[in-house]
Structure 1
Amino acid sequence: MAYRETEKMRQRKAQARNKIIECTWECVAEGGFRSARITRIAGLAGVATGTIYRHFESREDLFAEIFRLATQREVDKVAEALSVPGNAVERLDGALRKFAQRALKGPMKAWALIAEPVDPKVEQERLVYRKAYASLFEKAIQDGIAEGSLSEQNARLSSTCLVGAISESLVGPLSPTQTNTTPGNDNNQDELVNAIVCFCIRGLTDSRS
């Protein structure tokens, strides 16, 4: 008789997989991908290291899955901010502001997602999600051109520039080696967010066709 997996066994496997994912993200949130050791993840999840490799073919596959899940949450937040009432400039301002504020609120998590040196599989996912952000911004820019709140411009190129500008501007402040800013200083963070958003919005509104 052929082996058939029971529903209870499937649920147990799913629970173990979810626990591994949860504990991996906990490690990444504390110290980035480089601190997420398989032995530590297994210990936190209460499983053997071999169990992890039954769910994920490699460490890189596990990290790529973690990256996908974590980044999708951030993409969803940007999409949510872009869906509120208002003209395109107001919505883009709110979305860029939310992106920067969330990054600064969880600097280690944001560093891991935005700039930490990672394995090729994770870097590939990073490129996928940069495109996802750009697609959201491109649609908002197109809306702004149509409604007249933004001048005629290459919406695709402008959206790519937005992603690059806001990501690059956060690399220094998010870096674990950064010592020029005081962690938790809300005034410094507000000033930084305002400067980043102002630069991005000016780039869009002052563009020339």
Structure 2
Amino acid sequence: MARLVEAAEKLIRERGYEATSSTDIAAEAGVAPSLINAHFLGKAGLLYAVLRNFNDQQLAATRVAAACPGTPTERLAGILHTWAQCDLAEPRMYAAIIGLSWSWPPETEREYAADLAIFWDVVMAVVNEGIARGEFRRISRRDATDIISSIHQWGMRPGIFEGADPAACAERVIGQVMLAIAAPGRLPD
């Protein structure tokens, strides 16, 4: 099944999700197309398997960024830069995953939320340190995750549709996140 995931990743990266058929993926992997339905419940399930591979890599990079020296503000900025670099390294893949996430079944959403909880544990450790140091306002985990993920997702659109540089996208996201969570009197210029 790893061959199917690798083939899907390669073809979706090259062509985009909509332009890649299950038959194309199976041919690239050298297997029968029926294996996609049998093991992944279709092309959407296979894309979700690709997403989980990307998440593993991005989680490792997130942990590194969170552990860097610096203030919580600097470390959160580093995490957001890391996410922009990872997501926009494969803009077609990122766009396909975001699009699919709006239509997958509730059980997939629950699984995805559980996977993302690990990311948010890392992020919230930085945010909570920032709250304790007076850099960030008191904010619940739910509000922080909603704010950061929403701003990040919208902030990647120029990278996907206009070819904007990941660093430029990250800087815009960082500015907006800091406006939303900075402690009173600590708003960025």
TM-score range, shorter chain: 0.7 to 0.9
Where do 1:23-38 residues align within 5 Å? 23-38=7-22
Deviations 1:27-82 (A, max 9, x none): 22223332331110111011122344443344343232222222232233222211
Cα distance in 2 for residues equivalent to 1:118 and 1:141:
27
Deviations 1:8-36 (A, max 9, x none): xxxxxxxxx11111001112222333233
Deviations 1:61-106 (A, max 9, x none): 3232222222232233222211222221111010111111332332
Q: Is contact 2:7-2:25 (8 Å) kept?
A: yes
**Share of identical aligned residues, percent?**
19
Residue 66 (1) aligns with residue 50 (2):
yes
- Secondary structure of 2:156's match? helix
- Aligned letter for 1:142? N
> Once the 2 structures are TM-superposed, how far is the Cα of residue 110 of structure 1 from its aligned partner?
2.0
Tell me: CA distance 1:114–1:50, structure 2 relative to 1, closer, same or farther (3 Å): closer
> Once the 2 structures are TM-superposed, how far is the Cα of residue 161 of structure 1 from its aligned partner?
1.0
Where do 1:10-159 residues align within 5 Å? 17-115=1-99, 119-121=103-105, 124=109, 126-146=112-132, 148-156=133-141, 157-159=143-145
Q: Which moved more, 1:90-99 or 1:32-41?
A: 32-41
Cα distance in 1 for residues equivalent to 2:15 and 2:100:
10
Q: Is contact 1:134-1:163 (8 Å) kept?
A: no
- Secondary structure of 1:162's match? helix
Deviations 1:116-156 (A, max 9, x none): 5664149625544554433332221112223x142440241
- Aligned letter for 2:83? F
Q: Is contact 1:88-1:143 (8 Å) kept?
A: yes
For residue 203 of structure 1, the aligned residue among 169, 180, 185 is: 180
Tell me: CA distance 1:94–1:193, structure 2 relative to 1, closer, same or farther (3 Å): same
Structure of greater Rg: 1
Aligned residues: 182
Q: Is contact 1:20-1:41 (8 Å) kept?
A: yes
Cα distance in 2 for residues equivalent to 1:63 and 1:76:
20
Cα distance in 2 for residues equivalent to 1:207 and 1:126:
34
Cα distance in 1 for residues equivalent to 2:14 and 2:114:
24
TM-score (norm 2): 0.78
- Secondary structure of 2:135's match? coil
Q: Is contact 1:113-1:126 (8 Å) kept?
A: no
